[in-house]
């Protein structure tokens, strides 16, 4: 999975995402930016209006390269670092027209990805000192899955499968259609021998016993109450990687982590995101 986030892959993903963003925002041209002299240059500052974990640099740089080539970027807060309220996180110097065209796209990427990283970091902090990792899901914004999964990593979380193509997650409907837990695991071994992992979801302790007997190496404990989770960890005795899913809140997270599970997956990291408030302010403009 690391190959998905190599420097080259990130740059390519960011270019593709930025191109789509400009296609829907700029279309045939930025009519308002045309009010600015073509040779005007400007210095702009991007400020965070609230504390955050900064994330999205590859996407910001890609957007600037496409809309405002020749812009100089001076990051005041590094990727994955925390900023304070009203702190300047980035100073830009470049063509005024291009910076104005890029402004909303740059801020959109920065506000979304910093929000995901910030939320993830708060969950990671809540389980600090336990063995539990915080894991994302496929509940992402259409077209921005890789960007959001990158942001989860930036916030200290762990990526689950990227999509349906790289790993197997056997859920209740798969189990029912396949004819049971054991049959589903056997079918997965035959149908997807190259999967990065095979995980099966169980809803009862009886299903957990059956999954372990069938050789399951990763088990998702779905919507179990606390006493059942504790018993599941005891039964498992370290044989499979155990993950909790369903109904996880920040308030109850520590208690879940202290059961001894290995992973806690949370769709809200990428699905229920409140954007971080950023603004761009021009400080000067002059003829070239």
Q: What is the mean pLDDT of the chain?
A: 95
pLDDT at 247 (0 to 100): 84
Q: Is residue 59 a contact partner of residue 113, using CB atoms and an 8 Å limit?
A: yes
Which is catalytic among the residues 9, 82, 145, 171? 171
- What's the distance, CA 47 to chain centroid? 22
Is the distance from CB of 218 to CB of 243 less than 8 angstroms?
yes
**How high is the pLDDT of residue 1?**
52
Same domain, 163 and 262: yes
Is 104 catalytic? The answer is: yes
Find the domain containing 38 and state its range.
2-121+274-287
pLDDT per residue over 204-219, tens digit each?
999 999 999 999 999 9
The answer to whether 171 is a known catalytic residue is: yes
Examine the domain organization and report whether 133 and 251 are in the same domain.
yes
Determine phi and psi for 239, rounding to 5 degrees: -70, -40
Give the whole-number percent of the chain exceeding pLDDT 70.
Answer: 97
Asked if 282 and 237 sit in the same domain, the reply is: no
Report percent pLDDT > 90 for the chain.
94
State yes or no: is 139 an active-site residue. yes
Same domain (yes/no): 79, 204? no
Reference 216, options 234, 199, 204, 192; nearest CA is 199
Q: Which of 82, 104, 138, 254 is catalytic?
A: 104
Tell me the pLDDT band of 285, cut-offs 50, 70 and 90: low
Q: What is the pLDDT of residue 284?
A: 56
Are 44 and 149 within one domain?
no
Which tens digits make up the pLDDT trace of 79-110?
Answer: 999 999 999 999 999 999 999 999 999 999 99
Q: Given this model, what pLDDT does residue 287 score?
A: 46
Q: pLDDT tens-digit profile of 36-83?
A: 999 999 999 999 999 999 999 999 999 999 999 999 999 999 999 999
> 133 and 95, same structural domain?
no
Q: b or e along 217-229 (b: 16 or more beta carbons within 10 Å of the residue's beta carbon)?
A: ebbbbbebeeebb
Same domain for 222 and 280?
Answer: no
Tell me the pTM: 0.94
Catalytic residue among 139, 145, 186, 254: 139
Catalytically annotated residue among 17, 136, 201, 210: 201
Q: Is the dihedral of CA 261, 269, 12, 95 positive or negative?
A: negative
- C-alpha span between 89 and 110 (Å, rounded): 11
Residue 201 designated active-site: yes
Same domain, yes or no, for 261 and 282? Answer: no
State whether 185 and 252 are in the same domain.
Answer: yes
Q: One of 222, 231, 258, 277 is an active-site residue; which one? A: 222
Per-residue confidence (pLDDT) for residue 283, from 0 to 100: 84
The confidence score (pLDDT) of residue 169 equals: 97
User: Does 77 share its domain with 160?
Assistant: no
- Beta strands (DSSP E) in 115-192 are 133-135, 168-170
CATH for 98:
3.90.1170.20
Q: How many domains does the chain have?
A: 2
157 and 50 within one domain: no
- pLDDT tens for 249-260 read 999 999 999 999
Shared domain check, 9 and 76: yes
CA–CA gap between residue 168 and residue 134 (Å, rounded): 19
Task: Give the model's confidence band at 190: pLDDT under 50 very low, under 70 low, under 90 confident, else very high.
Answer: very high
Residue 246 belongs to a domain with what CATH number?
A: 3.20.20.70
């Amino acid at each position: 999975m690391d190959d998905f986030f190599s420097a080259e892959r990130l740059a390519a993903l960011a270019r593709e995402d930025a191109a789509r963003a400009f296609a829907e925002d700029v279309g045939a041209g930025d009519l308002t930016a045309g009010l600015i002299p073509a040779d005007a240059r400007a210095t702009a500052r991007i400020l965070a209006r609230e504390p955050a974990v900064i994330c999205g640099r590859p996407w910001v740089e890609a957007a600037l390269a496409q809309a405002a080539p020749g812009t100089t970027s001076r990051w005041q807060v590094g990727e994955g670092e925390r900023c304070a309220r009203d702190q300047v996180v980035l100073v830009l110097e470049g063509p005024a027209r291009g910076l104005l065209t890029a402004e909303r796209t740059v801020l959109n990427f920065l506000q979304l990805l910093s929000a995901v990283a910030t939320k993830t970091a708060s969950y990671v902090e809540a389980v600090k000192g336990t063995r539990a990792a915080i894991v994302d899901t496929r509940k992402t914004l259409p077209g921005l899955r890789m960007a959001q999964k990158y942001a989860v990593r930036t916030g200290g979380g762990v990526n689950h499968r990227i999509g349906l193509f790289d790993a197997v997650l056997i859920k209740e409907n798969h189990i029912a259609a396949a004819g049971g837990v054991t049959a589903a695991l056997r079918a997965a071994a035959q149908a997807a021998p190259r999967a990065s992992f095979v995980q099966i979801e169980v809803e009862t302790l009886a299903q957990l016993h059956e999954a372990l007997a069938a050789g399951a190496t990763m088990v998702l404990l779905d919507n179990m109450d606390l006493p059942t989770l504790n018993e599941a960890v005891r039964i498992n005795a370290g044989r499979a990687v155990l993950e909790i899913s369903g109904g996880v809140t920040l308030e109850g997270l520590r208690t879940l982590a202290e059961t001894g599970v290995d992973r806690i997956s949370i769709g809200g990291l990428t699905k229920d995101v409140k954007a971080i408030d950023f603004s761009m302010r021009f400080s000067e403009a002059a003829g070239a």
